[in-house]
């Protein structure tokens, strides 16, 4: 039997740690570790025709990702590429104190379990059993419960669409690793649900695309990686961006309005929620604007709302709209009995002050002119 550890982790993944792992695995203890080059923060055990990869968490991690999440993709990639047929992969926690039980870290365990990676010393956490995520909603609601399901604070954001999931993943450093890891587990879920999964790259700190290792990992799990990257709003340089405009528009809506939810009725059945433009793409395309200006308008969050399919159509057709004070207006041509079909909304609704600005009102003016409501 041979045990390998990367030279760079020589101090932390000591003989003592290795023998603790071997004890749990009911394997004989060793006296020597073989140190090798490379990056993976793991212990690799080779025994006859069997190979075991154990990802080891970090003690005294300075960032929440640095506890465990950021190490998983690298080791997982190596594991997947290993031609050994009889191979296994686990996690071993160096620290099982309260620090290992924050909501963020528990999410990491659950994501790992969804990918089939168990924790060797889970019982040391002294918690009720950690469950894998079974469905997309299961994962999403766990995130919402943590109340930080906000693309600005998270490394990644995923949304449900009719036949697919789209994940927006930040690319830089630990965020990049975390978003790849999340995308892989969502791919596992998507597979069960017969959906596809797309990974849209979000450029951050100059990192323009995911690493080759992560790309291979995503491809292994059948994640479609989009070409190009979204550029975070405050650093937007439209003419250089090569990302699909629709993805960029959606990402900007997420940043402005939060998760997919109809602005009017609050419906949050994600498959029914549309990234709805105020001033339509077709009108933008037929305008006299330069290509750069067209692009700006097409992806501008001020030029849109999340609307359910019903309210999207009603807005597009001028059955409902907002006036220049942001108040909801119902088309006066609607008959009383037809108004019943404008479900769950009333004309006391208005655009919230924090969302209302000159830019949005300008789009609205163009829209109202088109639908000919004379507002
Ligand atoms: Zn609605």
User: Mind listing the pLDDT tens digit for each residue in 184-220?
Assistant: 999 999 998 899 999 999 887 777 888 888 899 999 9
Strand, coil or helix: 357: coil
| pLDDT-wise least confident of 86-95, 100-109, 240-249, 300-309 | 240-249
341 C-alpha to center of ligand 1: Å? 11
- Residue 78 pLDDT: 94
- Mean predicted lDDT score pLDDT of the chain: 88
pLDDT band at 236 (very low <50, low <70, confident <90, very high): very low
322 C-alpha to center of ligand 1: Å? 14
Measured CA distances, 108 to 160, 175, 182, 362 (Å): 21, 13, 9, 44
Domain ranges (residues) in the chain: 2-130, 133-256, 260-375
Strand partners of residue 179 = none
pTM here?
0.76
374 C-alpha to center of ligand 1: Å? 24
273 C-alpha to center of ligand 1: Å? 8
- Residue 343 pLDDT: 67
Find the mean pLDDT for residues 48-52: 93
264 C-alpha to center of ligand 1: Å? 5
Strand, coil or helix: 290: coil
Find the mean pLDDT for residues 297-323: 94
343 C-alpha to center of ligand 1: Å? 7
The strand pair at 118-119 and 86-92 is best described as parallel
- Residue 147 pLDDT: 52
* pLDDT, tens digit, 9 for 90 and up, residues 68-82: 988 999 999 999 999
Question: d(Cα 233, Cα 252) in Å, to the nearest integer?
Answer: 7
Residue 78 exposure: Cα atoms within 13 Å on the Cβ side: 18
Spell out the CATH class of 2-130: alpha beta
pLDDT band at 273 (very low <50, low <70, confident <90, very high): very high
| Complete DSSP assignment for 113-144 | HHTT-EETTGGGG-SSPPPPP-SHHHHHHHHH
pLDDT band at 371 (very low <50, low <70, confident <90, very high): confident
Q: With a cut of 50, say whether residue 234 has pLDDT above it.
A: no
* pLDDT, tens digit, 9 for 90 and up, residues 150-159: 555 677 788 8
Q: Pick the residue with more confidence: 61 or 151?
A: 61
274 C-alpha to center of ligand 1: Å? 10
* pLDDT, tens digit, 9 for 90 and up, residues 10-41: 999 999 999 999 999 999 999 999 999 999 99
- Residue 125 pLDDT: 96
232 C-alpha to center of ligand 1: Å? 28
pLDDT band at 55 (very low <50, low <70, confident <90, very high): very high
Q: Do 92 and 57 contact (CB within 8 A), yes or no?
A: yes
- Residue 232 pLDDT: 60
What percent of the chain shows pLDDT beyond 70?
A: 91
Burial environment of residue 320 by CB neighbours within 10 A (0 to 12, 13 to 18, 19 or more)? buried
Q: Where are the beta strands (DSSP E) in 250-350?
A: 273-277, 304-308, 320-322, 328-330
Nearest to 298, CA basis, from 275, 315, 319: 275
């Amino acid at each position: 039997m041979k045990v390998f550890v990367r030279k760079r982790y020589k101090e932390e993944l000591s003989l003592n740690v290795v023998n603790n792992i071997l004890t749990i695995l009911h394997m004989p203890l060793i006296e020597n570790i073989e140190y090798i080059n490379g990056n993976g923060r793991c212990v690799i055990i080779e025994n006859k025709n069997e190979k075991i990869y154990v990802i080891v968490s970090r003690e005294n991690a300075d960032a929440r990702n640095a506890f465990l999440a950021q190490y998983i993709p690298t080791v997982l990639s190596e594991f997947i590429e290993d031609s050994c047929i009889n191979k296994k992969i686990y996690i071993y926690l160096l620290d099982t104190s309260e620090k290992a039980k924050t909501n963020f870290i528990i999410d990491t365990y659950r994501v790992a379990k969804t990918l089939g990676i168990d924790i060797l010393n889970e019982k040391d956490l002294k918690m009720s059993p950690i469950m894998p995520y079974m469905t997309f909603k299961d994962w999403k609601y766990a995130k919402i419960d943590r109340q930080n399901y906000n693309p600005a604070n998270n490394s990644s954001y995923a949304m449900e669409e009719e036949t697919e999931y789209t994940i927006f993943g930040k690319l830089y450093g630990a965020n990049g690793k975390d978003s790849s890891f999340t995308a892989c587990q969502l791919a596992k879920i998507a597979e069960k649900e017969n959906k596809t999964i797309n990974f849209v790259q979000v450029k951050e700190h100059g990192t323009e695309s995911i690493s080759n290792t992560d790309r291979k990992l995503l491809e292994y799990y059948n994640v479609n990686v989009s070409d190009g990257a979204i550029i975070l709003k405050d650093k937007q340089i439209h003419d250089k961006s090569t990302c699909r405009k629709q993805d960029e528009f959606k990402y900007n809506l997420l940043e402005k309005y939060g998760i997919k939810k109809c602005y009017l009725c609050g419906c949050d059945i994600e498959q029914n929620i549309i990234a709805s433009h105020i001033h339509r793409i077709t009108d933008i395309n037929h305008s006299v604007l330069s290509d750069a200006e067209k692009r700006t308008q097409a992806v501008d969050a001020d030029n849109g709302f999340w609307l359910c399919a019903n309210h999207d159509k009603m807005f597009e057709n001028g059955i409902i709209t907002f006036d220049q004070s942001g108040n909801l207006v119902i088309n006066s041509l609607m008959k009383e009995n037809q108004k019943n079909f404008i479900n769950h909304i009333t004309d006391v609704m208005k655009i919230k002050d924090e969302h209302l600005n000159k830019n949005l009102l300008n789009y609205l003016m163009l829209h109202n002119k088109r639908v000919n409501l004379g507002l």
